[in-house]
A and B are shown apart, each in its own frame.
Chain A
Amino acid sequence: MGFSLKSITIAKKDLVVEFRSKQTLNFMFLFSLLVLMLFSFTMGYSGAIEDVGAGLLWLIFIFTGISGMSRSFIREEERGTLDGIKLSPMGMSSLLLGKILYNFVLIFILQCIIFPLFIVLLNYPVRGDLLSAFFILTLGNIGFVIVCSALSVLVLNARARELLLPVILLPIVFPLLSAATSALKGILSGLPLSGVWDEIVIISIYIVIFFTIGILTFDYSIEG
């Protein structure tokens, strides 16, 4: 089996386990809906939604993602299956890639539900192309999923790991959040994709850099 095939196997295994109970997905969906409702209630009629909306949407993904996606490794650890995977004839980097794929499927499903609801519930005055906005969301979420998956391994052996993950993750996600918010805001206010070219370049570089570092250092993060 090749590198990518192995990781697809891992992702498939995780998806099967997840869809049996839908525990994480249900949690992520409910949590993001709740946050969205709170944002809508506290800010929906403020008139400033065009200014802050894009940022709020990213915050929903980031908070939901942190609490949902960190589960992918913690679950393996809690059930004691992580050692089994370590023993299997599978490169550690395909394990990381598998988890990235699995987490991406989760957040992509979430994105398909939350994005339309966000526009409706916040009365967002969309003036741009929704398909391009969806593209920016997907691109940003790819970057986020990579960093979140790679860093959630680091807290496995730490005390208070659920509290620690956001503290180490959020500063690293900051450049992505900043570029993606600016891009989404631009697209929703009517700019074409070429109008947010700088942001797209930064997000793409972010994805490449952190994917490379994630793969290169993963052997060290999981060992022991």
Chain B
Amino acid sequence: MNLKESIGLIAVYVLMGICMYFVLLVLEPVEVLGDSYRIFFFHLPNAVAAYVAFTITLIGSILYLKNSEVKWDDYASASAEVGIIFTALALITGAIFSNESWGAYWNWDPRQTTTLILFFLYAGYLSLRSAIENEESRARISAVLGIFGYAGVPLTYFSTRIWFSLHPKTIGLDPLMRTIVILMMISFFVLYAYILLFSVRLKRIEREYKKLSGGW
């Protein structure tokens, strides 16, 4: 682990620790939702981090097609891997919160649906990657799919919004809550960046090792 990563890891622990202290111990229960709203402070930053991760996959894919530099493919694939975990967590926390506030775990609400489709999109992306042997064509083909997949996301949102929507457009938060949400978002971004850089370094080492050992 190098210095940059160690600083990142410490920052994640400190930031998340402070946020958790505020979310779980300082904030008072609110009307109607009671204590259940505390999961929101994990759910929203989680979902936003997932969307950011897939945006990085898109940028990595475009840059790979432009320059054919293998490091961009590493960024794209590592970001998709992290993104899919964040998406799964966002779906789970979302479903729990949704059951408390809307009365059912699953509602086909546009944002819920879009997040689920994102999950499937990048699960497909990763299975395509695992099915192509040749490294160069794997990077190129999955970059194309990375671009295709991302383009469908806004359309998924708008096409399901025709049916109906339950998500609040704006959320009434007091200043303390807003600060905590922002702090939580920052800590999720740092966590994301930490895992991303770590995973990219791992991929690079793996490739160098393969080269040295003659493919074994």
Contact = CB atoms under 8 A, between A and B. Distances in A.
Contacts of A157: 132, 134, 137, 141
Interface string A176-210: 10110010000000000000001100100110011
Contact of B162 (A158, A161, A198, A224): A198
Given A157-B132, A168-B124, A168-B128, A182 B144 contact: no
Interface in A135-169: 147, 150-151, 154-155, 157-161, 164, 167-168
Interface of A: 147, 150-151, 154-155, 157-161, 164, 167-168, 170-172, 174-176, 178-179, 182, 198-199, 202, 205-206, 209-210, 213, 217, 220-221, 223-224
B65 interface: yes
B117 A160 contact: no
Contacts of B1: none
B180 interface: no
A171 B120 contact: yes
B148 to A, nearest CB: 6
A160 B163 CA distance: 36
Interface in B114-137: 117, 120-121, 123-125, 127-128, 131-134, 136-137
Contact of A175 (B120, B123, B137, B159): B159
A182 B152 contact: no
Interface residues of B, number: 32
B10 interface: no
A219 to B, nearest CB: 9
Given A151-B145, A175-B159, A202-B158, 14 more contacts: A154-B144, A155-B131, A158-B128, A167-B124, A171-B124, A172-B149, A174-B117, A175-B152, A175-B155, A175-B158, A209-B155, A213-B147, A220-B141, A221-B140
Most central of B65, B117, B140, B141 by chain A CB within 10 Å? B141
Interface of B: 65, 117, 120-121, 123-125, 127-128, 131-134, 136-137, 140-141, 143-145, 147-149, 151-152, 155-156, 158-160, 162-163
Chain B contact residues, majority secondary structure: helix
Top 10 A-B residue pairs of the complex, sorted by shortest distance between their CB atoms? A175-B155, A168-B124, A158-B131, A175-B159, A171-B120, A179-B159, A171-B121, A178-B159, A175-B156, A217-B144
Given A157-B132, A168-B124, A175-B155, A224 B140 contact: yes
Contacts of B121: 171-172
15 contacts: A159-B132, A159-B133, A164-B131, A168-B145, A170-B120, A174-B117, A178-B159, A178-B160, A178-B163, A182-B159, A199-B162, A202-B158, A210-B151, A213-B147, A221-B141
